[in-house]
């Protein structure tokens, strides 16, 4: 006998296991509308877009566009996941929609390419089977020309990047210009297709020289300013191309004593006869620094951009070096032979060009480097002083030229949220002074003159420039903004007398009074079509402009009195 309770003779039936219903019970409930998880993700994405524009608009307006693209991708993926797994749509539709989206993306990726991007990273697309614009251009058709004279100089000459003094500020021209474009608009002299690149024109004695890319060839080309016809061209088989930076050479040639000095995007320095375009000598910077185009792009991502600087009997260019170094800041070559005269400094290159100036009573070369600015003895290249200036030539690059003011002050500007700073030099530059030792910082602001692709013009105690694409006037006394004007994006500017010439990123040129009182525009024209990053050239009354597709000459002369 046991203590256990007797078993009941009745056993309750065991319910059958319904396998199909069990599987259904673990599947998510379907609904006609997205659940709270989706709404949380979408609200997060919307907040990211709004926050990105609010936080980074004053840093670099390209970043909000990148953030918007990323948030749009996340929101789209979350919708497709919900639609495929949780929506109440039919099984066939839940399969068809995401497959269709994926197919569209694959097809678009297969048939389209990003042809270029704007300064704020807005892409422009083109069919993959369409050739690059420069590849569809014919070779330069040079007519037989004689009497091409680049040795004779005139008061109209604009012989190098930013003009005679190497700064984008010209005095009142000897030949008068129209004061009001609204009443007296510029007249188009000629317009023609041109090879790719961001080199500007340099002009002497009726001829203009620039660099351009046509297919596999990097060219230095000379044009007749009156007709726009090419008179000579010199080609080297090398090609620079990146999605963000574009195609072709960046540096502007320098014309000096009848010769043309040009530095290409892949480090080839050329000296050409200005009458014929014949090569006199060349120097391969990459070969001299154990570098190569493939290696260099990792450190100098958007191509070498220097415009050669003539100093006495030498031509000076940044040398830099391969990623990781060793680096050489500057090198000087004999004008006639290309013989290396000196090299000095240990800094990687930026996208600016060296300038010759007098600072604190001493004649010197000022060089904007990847992450510093240095002063050099013109005779030997010896470093006189150095200041830190943030930058990386493969990300937040330095492009803007240094500006010397009244022989004692140095204005530095830069995009990517850095802004501007004004320094004053008070002591002799013989013992490599730095900040706090002979160099005083007068003011600094990360809100003004964020010149991403351009430089500033200085007139009557004020600096004018494109602050992350917004035209701005800033007082040099305290760094305060006087006025701002949107609409120009990442273009270029040049002061001529008391007028400011601005060439916007999309080819529109405006004529503006250079005054701190208010923005006062005196007319504008559509000078070019397409993205325009190249600097302007003013030869007398002729405005020479170009981009990666076309070049044009506009006459700015005033109306003839009746």
pLDDT in tens, 291-305: 999 999 999 999 999
* Segment 214-232, tens digit of pLDDT: 999 999 999 999 999 999 9
Reported as a single tens digit per residue, the pLDDT across 183-214 is 999 999 999 999 999 999 999 999 999 999 99
The CATH number corresponding to 157-555 among 3.10.180.10, 2.130.10.10, 3.40.50.720, 3.90.1150.10 equals: 2.130.10.10
Res 215: pLDDT? 95
* SS3 assignment, position 111: helix
Residue 97 vs residue 30, higher pLDDT: 97
| Residues pairing with 211 in the sheet | 220
Q: Hey, where are the domains in the chain?
A: 19-127, 157-555
The radius of gyration computed from the CA coordinates of the chain, to the nearest angstrom, equals 30
Q: At residue 325, does pLDDT exceed 50?
A: yes
Helix (H, G, I), strand (E, B) or coil at 82: helix
CA distance 178 to 159: 23
Return the number of other C-beta atoms located less than 10 Å from residue 490's C-beta.
Answer: 23
Residue 387: pLDDT band (50, 70, 90) is: very high
For residue 16, pLDDT beyond 60: no
pLDDT for residue 27: 56
Q: What is the dihedral of CA 18, 19, 22, 24, to 10 degrees?
A: -110
pLDDT, mean of residues 325-332 = 96
pTM given for the model: 0.91
Angle between helices 36-56 and 62-85 (to 10 degrees): 180
pLDDT band at 5 (very low <50, low <70, confident <90, very high): very low
Mean pLDDT of the chain: 91
Region 529-553: mean pLDDT is 97
CB atoms within 10 A of CB 350: 27
Burial class (CB in 10 A: 0-12, 13-18, 19+), 107: exposed
């Amino acid at each position: 006998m046991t203590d256990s309770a007797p078993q009941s003779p009745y056993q309750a039936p065991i319910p059958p296991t319904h396998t199909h219903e069990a599987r259904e019970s673990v599947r998510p409930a379907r609904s006609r509308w997205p659940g709270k998880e989706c709404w949380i993700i979408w609200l997060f994405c919307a907040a990211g877009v709004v926050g990105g524009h609010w936080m980074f608009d004053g840093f670099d307006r390209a970043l909000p566009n990148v953030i918007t693209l990323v948030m749009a991708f996340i929101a789209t993926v979350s919708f497709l996941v919900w639609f495929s797994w949780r929506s109440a749509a039919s099984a066939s539709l839940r399969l068809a929609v995401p497959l269709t989206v994926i197919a569209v993306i694959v097809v678009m990726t297969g048939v389209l390419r990003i042809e270029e991007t704007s300064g704020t990273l807005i892409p422009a697309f083109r069919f993959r089977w369409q050739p690059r614009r420069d590849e569809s251009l014919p070779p330069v058709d040079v007519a037989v020309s004689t009497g091409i004279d680049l040795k004779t100089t005139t008061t109209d000459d604009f012989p190098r990047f930013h003009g005679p003094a190497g700064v984008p500020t010209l005095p009142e021209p000897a030949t008068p210009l129209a004061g009001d474009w609204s009443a007296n608009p510029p007249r188009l002299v000629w317009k023609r297709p041109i090879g790719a690149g961001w080199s500007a024109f340099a002009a002497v004695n009726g001829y203009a020289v620039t660099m351009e890319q046509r297919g596999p060839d990097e060219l230095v080309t000379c044009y007749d300013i009156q007709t726009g016809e090419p008179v000579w061209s010199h080609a080297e088989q090398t090609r620079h191309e990146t999605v963000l930076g574009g195609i072709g050479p960046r540096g502007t040639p320098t014309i000096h004593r009848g010769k043309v000095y040009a530095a290409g995007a892949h480090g080839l320095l050329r000296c050409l006869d200005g009458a014929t375009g014949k090569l006199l000598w060349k120097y391969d910077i990459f070969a001299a620094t154990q570098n190569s185009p493939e290696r260099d792009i990792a450190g100098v991502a958007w191509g070498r951009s220097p415009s050669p600087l003539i100093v006495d009997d030498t031509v000076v260019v940044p040398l830099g070096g391969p990623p990781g170094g060793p680096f050489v800041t500057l090198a000087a070559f004999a004008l006639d032979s290309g013989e290396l005269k000196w090299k000095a400094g240990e800094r990687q290159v930026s996208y600016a060009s060296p300038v010759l100036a007098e600072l604190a009573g001493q004649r010197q070369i000022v060089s904007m480097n990847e992450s510093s600015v240095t002063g050099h003895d013109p005779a030997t290249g010896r470093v006189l002083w150095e200041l830190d200036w943030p930058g990386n030539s493969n990300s937040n690059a330095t492009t803007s030229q240094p500006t010397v003011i009244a022989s004692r002050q140095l204005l530095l500007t830069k995009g990517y949220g850095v802004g501007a700073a004004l320094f004053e030099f008070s002591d002799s530059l013989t013992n490599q002074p730095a900040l706090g030792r002979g160099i005083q910082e007068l003011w600094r602001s990360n809100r003004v003159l964020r010149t991403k692709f351009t430089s500033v013009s200085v007139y009557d105690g004020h600096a004018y420039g494109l602050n992350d694409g917004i035209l701005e006037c800033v007082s040099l006394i305290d760094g305060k903004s006087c006025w701002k004007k949107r609409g120009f994006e990442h273009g270029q500017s040049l002061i001529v007398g008391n007028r400011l010439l601005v060439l916007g990123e999309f080819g529109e040129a405006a004529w503006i009074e250079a005054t701190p009182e208010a923005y006062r525009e005196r007319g504008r024209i559509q000078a070019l079509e397409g993205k325009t990053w190249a600097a302007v050239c003013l030869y007398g009354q002729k405005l020479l402009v170009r981009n990666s597709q076309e070049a044009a000459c506009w006459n700015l002369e005033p109306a003839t009195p009746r």
